[in-house]
Amino acid sequence: MTVNRILYVIAYIVLAPFAGILLEGIDRKLSARMQRRVGPPLLQPFYDVVKLFKKQVISVSSTQTFFLLTYLILMILTGALFFGGGDILMCFFVLSTAATFLYFAAVASSSPYATIGANRELIQMMTYEPAVLLSCVGFYLSEGTFNVSRIAVSEFSSILYLPGFFIAFVFILTIKLRKSPFDTATSHHMHQELVKGLTTEMGAQNLALFQIAEWYELVFLMGVVGLYIINSNPWSIPAAVLVVLASWFLEILIDNTSARMKWEDMLVGTWMVTLLTAGVNLLALMLIKA
């Protein structure tokens, strides 16, 4: 690993939570404005986590903290592999493993609400994994490698070959970011019929660990969106930033204009979108590269 890659990894580990705080703060502000409210301060997510760490530690299960710590460590590893220029397929494999530990953390509480939320989390994984795997395949077919550092310095932006894959990935971001209409396992809002779903029994430092891991995941997912745009041309960097911000705003808009769907509709709808966009793009790409 070169010095630059080591610096990128260190920057991700140190700065990703702060970027996540700002993005979530902007999310809350924009959501409030869309609902004709003033909204909380921009740094309110940071204040919330600090307050959680100051609370008395009460855990319904001694193993829950272990599972959440593992979830956080694997989430950090996912982003470190990505921003360090590693294998994107390995990044998503570690991400899926992290999601499995989140499931364990939820069911460890034996709460019926948390258990149902955890089961829905597994359904969500089954829903978005095809689009994730197809994205990796698309990058390989278009660039001839899974290596992030090589994809990022290609002659042309990957989105020129992978528009359908990009649409499918942005579509599943709504699931990954736990936003309506696909916030079936847990939600950032209080309209959940499961109270808070898989995070129902997470309190104090455990909930803080979950939130920090979510910030790391957010930055990683936005990085993947940017990977579709960035290339060897330095001007592609600001272009990638603009696309990332536009995608983030789109997710906020969808979240505030959509009612929550049933998991069955989420599963069928997501697979149909994946098949029609990434599937068709895959067939076209195979013909082009043949």
* Mean pLDDT value of segment 214-242: 93
- Report residue 190 as tokens: 């209080």
Whether residue 157 contacts residue 229, with contact meaning beta carbons closer than 8 Å, is answered with: yes
pLDDT of residue 194: 56
* Residue of higher predicted confidence among 208 and 263: 208
Query: How does pLDDT run across 40-51, given as a tens digit for each residue?
Result: 888 888 988 888
pTM over 0.85: yes
Q: Is 87 helix (H, G, I), strand (E, B) or coil?
A: strand
Averaged confidence pLDDT in the chain: 87
| Backbone angles phi and psi of 147, in degrees to 5 | -75, 120
- State the pLDDT confidence band at 195, using cuts at 50, 70 and 90: low
- State the pLDDT confidence band at 188, using cuts at 50, 70 and 90: low
pLDDT of residue 117: 81
pLDDT of residue 263: 78
| Backbone angles phi and psi of 87, in degrees to 5 | -80, 120
- State the pLDDT confidence band at 191, using cuts at 50, 70 and 90: low
Burial 18-36 (b: 16+ CB within 10 A, else e): eebbebbbbbbbbbeeeee
Whether pLDDT at 241 is above 90:
yes
- State the pLDDT confidence band at 165, using cuts at 50, 70 and 90: very high
* Residue of higher predicted confidence among 114 and 98: 98
Q: Which amino acid is at 132?
A: V
Q: Which long-range contacts (CB under 8 A, 24 or more apart) does 182-186 make?
A: 182/124, 182/260, 182/261, 182/266, 182/270, 183/255, 183/260, 184/120, 184/123, 184/124, 184/260, 184/261, 184/262, 184/263, 184/266, 185/117, 185/118, 185/120, 185/121, 185/123, 185/124, 186/117, 186/121
Whether pLDDT at 130 is above 70:
yes
* Residue of higher predicted confidence among 78 and 203: 78
pLDDT of residue 116: 81
Whether residue 139 contacts residue 90, with contact meaning beta carbons closer than 8 Å, is answered with: no
Which range, 116-130, 221-235, 261-275, has the best average confidence (pLDDT)?
Answer: 221-235
Helices (H), the chain: 3-34, 44-54, 62-83, 88-107, 112-143, 148-151, 163-176, 204-227, 236-257, 263-274, 280-289
pLDDT of residue 221: 94
Any idea which residue has 């610096």 for tokens?
7
Whether residue 202 contacts residue 105, with contact meaning beta carbons closer than 8 Å, is answered with: yes
Query: How does pLDDT run across 65-111, given as a tens digit for each residue?
Result: 889 999 999 999 999 999 998 889 999 999 999 999 988 888 887 77
Q: For residue 216, which of 118, 86, 82, 121 has the smallest C-alpha distance?
A: 82
Q: Where are the domains of the chain?
A: 3-289
Whether pLDDT at 248 is above 90:
yes
pLDDT of residue 60: 66
Any idea which residue has 């409210």 for tokens?
37
Percentage of the residues of the chain whose pLDDT score is greater than 90: 35
Percentage of the residues of the chain whose pLDDT score is greater than 70: 93
- Show Cβ contacts of residue 135 under 8 Å, excluding neighbours closer than 6 positions: 162, 165, 168, 169, 224, 278
pLDDT of residue 97: 92
pLDDT of residue 118: 83
* Mean pLDDT value of segment 127-148: 89
pLDDT of residue 18: 93
